[in-house]
Structure 1
């Protein structure tokens, strides 16, 4: 068992719960909220009235849709917030049903950690080896592919196995460790819990067979995703604003021109920017000098990766939403790249068909030129495939109509991620994670 590491990272930790349906994800989050006193009095009163003398159903704290309450399942991603004395948390409760895998992908894309639940009552823990549920494997693999930095396995419902809890946990833990090693995943921890009873959720478990941290203690120690603030700067342009002429003074005009300055807003993907830096625009290739950097409408000395900033240039350039601003010579262009494709549409992905893809804030047409292989969710081995069906993951080669400054997703989650949209239905069909690109 991994020991709890000391951490000085006190930023809010974004984590999601994942796993198979009815593994207890919503109940676990409800328990975290309840035990950390993050539930408002009126919410608690409402739950108590619904329970009418029965034990409070903590899953109702996150299952907010009427259909979710009627069916007792999670359909959409629910976000909740709570804090302890040492840390703030943003929780995403992802659906467990296979048909809602796309919602889990959405939640994982911006998470610092994933808690994958394993319901010990659904598997034969006495078998050798212990078989894991396909959705447990799928969600762990998706979290790994989406570069979620910390993956935690929480073995839930140990209260249901009574005196065999220690042996059951040891058997499941061994199977999870074998799966993780095979998949190339290094778990941040494998934790025994009972979300319903509250065992080892916020307070450490008092049992002779376990001496590790509680789930909350482990979560408090995990690092947040650290954006790369060193090296080249990269910013996708999301919005272009022009200073109001009535409010503009000499300091906000481009020197020597009398023209109104334009501010190019976006979240910096990596690196940092300050006044005086040389930058280059994609796709035009034109260069300029940063005249001013703004945050929240105010001029600042500098901005860095992870921060939303407005950049004012020293000259008038034709820049619009979807363009990129970066350090000179770093914005390589490519029209062909290999990528991992997580397919989310009921219509299969097939080579040759045209799709829309979004990279940053730019939309271009694209097509899958080849499907190199599909991952077998049970064996984790590549298998031959001519198409990818819903919830399947494969390696593909993609060709786009216009050059894009894509990067490896392993290097940067902004420059290396694209979404795929069906042009006829406008459905979000898949997520592309760039592996390698051939720059022209």
Structure 2
């Protein structure tokens, strides 16, 4: 709430004369995803506007798949609808190379750019220059109900396997108690179900493409991984799993409707917050499971704030993204919302902060997961691409989403796993031929 102090008329006239012309206010339009950390960022609009009265914030908050579509269309057509875009480590290098994003060099000393995690900073750079600033970063991990595991006498090893996860899901699946043995992403999308599925395929020994860019979607490794995923979710997952993405599974696990959940490390803060989670005091966590190889078993991602080159409000947009990704912003969230709610995975100083260490038992674990994820070596057999849960080429957004739809069709029973992967293979081969990767 803003308070207005009323002055006597003579004093008011004098104040106006001293102040001169009123300062024009610049409105910037920010497009972001409807994840918890971004909802908190939007809720702190007043804090930013009070510190920067010459800038007003206009928010466009969208579901993940819709956001990606809107951002891609706007940037590719130079639409100029947005001054700040929430994009990630997939888009930034590709869009920066095309000149679609404003470079973020010359950041002020007090921004402390060297405090940013190296893996995240590298993923948001092109030719050594940042083109987006990280709002939060994440890898993936396994969450589980410690109380249920204790009751069942289950001990989780230092590195669980997918086979063990399936066995645990069998034991803890209880439809009468409205509790699924496991929750996993099923909603189609290259950044939804395929983020999880790609890591699963990686650790089963598969890859998206061989070194000659031939698609490998009908390989035995893909067949084994997708059959495992489909059987696991159909037998021990929640009803309607094909509609569940990150947010839906977060809600299910938070209210006690899942015994196991493998997903983003960024969910940990909300799960450990007793004000947000019914299971905050009954949680265990472990590395993302592995199968044949540990390579590519956990992803690396950052949601970041970038300024499209088409923005007419470059200076104001830059002021905002520096504020929203600063150490001061993290401290603001910690002080006002609690330290489990701060954006994770971006700054070394967050993990050195005693308040965060005390509030977040997962902090060191998450930091190590992010440091150990290697986008340049994520597959058992050599591959020509960079990326753990995505392929760092422009065509992947379309390819990944189409394959995500075919995998979802196997999950819903509209196609067998073999049929779905044959369809995915043909479609991907055509796309790669059109793009010039194949003869």
Q: Normalised by the size of structure 1, how large is the TM-score?
A: 0.22
Greater RCO, 1 or 2 (C-alpha within 8 Å, sep 6+):
2
Structure whose CA Rg is larger? 1
TM-score (norm 2): 0.22
Could you say which structure has the higher strand fraction? 1
